[in-house]
Structure 1
């Protein structure tokens, strides 16, 4: 074959390959529904939960998310890769609200109106420990973990609860739990949800909480309970629910507004600016947020939908 013929064949091959590549790209981008595939199988943008589950809290570890039922206290593990899942801890008859999972595979669970917290083994579903935190009226709402302690909010009382962790994360005896009264800028309002989500500051020296009814963010000194308002000029975060900090970025879930406010903090967590607001058509009163696999995952609590045993519930994935 002459050089001219060879070049013609090569040009034709390149044309065929370019057309095939374009078709492949078009097919990938055009996948129905919000799914992403980055070097692996497409991950679902919406993960179904059991009908009637009534989720509120979420924690994530790798491909798995853990969700608690505010109705029964059961814990469900969802596979974020293939969308399957199973109950790993049975109903307790009391709520399971805010959740956090540590690197030892232990799930710290806020007990809502039960006024308690429990620690669940994510591998077996067994309860490792239970702690009495608050007396009625109480609503133990959310939890954050540090290297030395777990801190819980109470929406009906102006306090935090501290569960100290021992060497290598050892769980303490029941009497080790302490109550931290809050002082300073934070002011409790009776009869409504006050403190809700909780996170650590970027420098690790303090805690950040959101007051749902006023929309204010507060920095808390965990050693003294002293609070100061986090200055986010021109912004309040009413209906603020779960918090998640990633570096200097704080995600504030605003449940009934179907929004996530994205706030950039300084290192001390005393000042912030609103960077953007995340919305999604699949949101239906999301309560809190976890990050995994490069995505944010939010459970739809559907507070505005009357719950029945057949009511569907989902977890929605969005880009950070």
Structure 2
């Protein structure tokens, strides 16, 4: 489900060289001896039900809960974590989330139809903005606005931001052009194009799973040419430079594309898989040379004792 991430982008760049296998469109298997001293598997509280993840400021990750909407902060060097916020309860989950350099978290409220902002250090809720959405799924930060997807309606939500990213008014932006709204879950992850001129949104319905480039001024969507590659289980998106990571949740994989600057076309360069670590990952955030992904475990019935975790793999 459950986005240029300013906090990610200023910390990270994509690797300059790719293996011959990757350039040929091969598969990069992440399994092997970890080269990083930090933990590659970080446990979450039992029954947590994660979906989104954000990283920063500093080496701290934040995971929301699909259950009660709680927030969990992780110290990446040690893997230790703590609950910083008890959520608003059933019907008010935390789905996608992003953090900014000012220490503010932006949360997508799923079926509650809420956009929320929270102080990352204290967990204090700053704003709750009801937009009447049927399933507010994911979020990306851009200069002057936070953009949220709605999985069951052909529209996005633009939350205005001031110079310090404090939230203002929100408004819906209808989607048109090539956008096709399915009978159920359609829009998912959201990102910016490499040049920042437009938004990239996963459409799980159109064409069997399509990446759409959306003009933020008009809402007009055009299908991105991915050379025939599809995103039938596309969930979170993460852009580092011109490298786009698309999490294919139920395929237990991350498809990696190199985009042109405008985000109108892309080339599949590799797929990241790891049978040891992936248990239906949903979204990705980055720190250093690693990607961190929460395992949502959508293939099991959640209970209070179900175990969940965040796992780390190397970037391409």
Global fold match (TM > 0.5)? yes
Contact 2:253 2:271 in 1 (8 A): yes
2:128 aligns with 130
Work out the CA distance in 1 between the residues paired with 2:93 and 2:40. 27
Structure 2 spans left out of the alignment, 5+ residues: 1-30
Equivalent residues of 2:102, 2:164 under 8 A apart:
no
1:54 to 49, 65, 68: 49
Greater RCO structure (CA 8 Å; 6+ sep): 2
| Partner residue, 1:114 | 112
1:178 to 171, 181, 197: 171
Partner SS, residue 210 of structure 1: strand
Residue of structure 1 in register with 2:225 after alignment: 231
Bigger radius of gyration among the two:
1
**What TM-score comes out, normalization by structure 1 length?**
0.85
Q: 1:79 Cα deviation (Å)?
A: 1.3
> Which secondary structure state, in structure 2, belongs to the residue aligned with residue 56 of structure 1?
coil
TM-score normalised according to structure 2 size: 0.86
Aligned: 1:273 with 2:267: yes
Q: Give the aligned partner of residue 23 of structure 1.
A: none
Give 1:170 deviation, angstroms: 2.7
Determine which of 221, 244, 249 is the counterpart of 2:215.
221
Asked if the contact 1:36/1:45 (under 8 Å) is kept, the reply is no
Q: Deviations over 1:55-76 (max 9, x none)?
A: 0000011311100001110000
Give the drift of 1:169.
2.2
The CA deviation at 1:80 is: 1.1
1:74 partnered with 2:73: no
Consecutive aligned runs of 4 or more in structure 1 exceeding 4 Å deviation: none
Write the distance in 2 (CA, Å) between the matches of 1:67 and 1:82: 16
User: CA–CA distance in 2 between the matches of 1:199 and 1:227?
Assistant: 14
Deviations 1:89-138 (A, max 9, x none): 11211110001000000000000000111101011110011111224xx1
More helix as a share of residues: 1
Does residue 203 of structure 2 align to residue 208 of structure 1? no
Matched position secondary structure for 1:256: helix
Deviation for aligned residue 1:246? 0.6
**5+ long unaligned stretches in structure 1:** 1-31
CA–CA distance in structure 2, aligned partners of residues 65 and 166 of structure 1: 24
Q: Distance in 2 between matches of 1:168 and 1:140?
A: 24
RMSD over equivalenced CA pairs, Å: 1.3
Aligned-residue offset at 1:166: 1.5
C-alpha distance in 2 between matches for 1:169 and 1:140 = 20
Deviation for aligned residue 1:167: 2.8
- Residue of structure 2 in register with 1:259 after alignment: 253
**Contact 1:34–1:46 (CA<8 Å) still a contact in 2?**
no
Q: Secondary structure at the match of 1:167?
A: coil
Counterpart Cα distance in 2 of 1:206 and 1:99: 20
Q: Does 1:102 align with 2:100?
A: yes
Within 2, Cα distance between the matches of 1:132 and 1:294?
37
Match of 2:10 in 1: none
**Cα distance in 1 between the residues matched to 2:197 and 2:311:** 32
* Partner residue in 1 for 2:24: none
Which string of whole-angstrom CA distances, capped at 9 and with x for unpartnered residues, describes residues 9-36 of structure 1? xxxxxxxxxxxxxxxxxxxxxxx98543
What SS does structure 1 have at the residue aligned with 2:164? helix
Contact 1:58 1:98 in 2 (8 A): yes
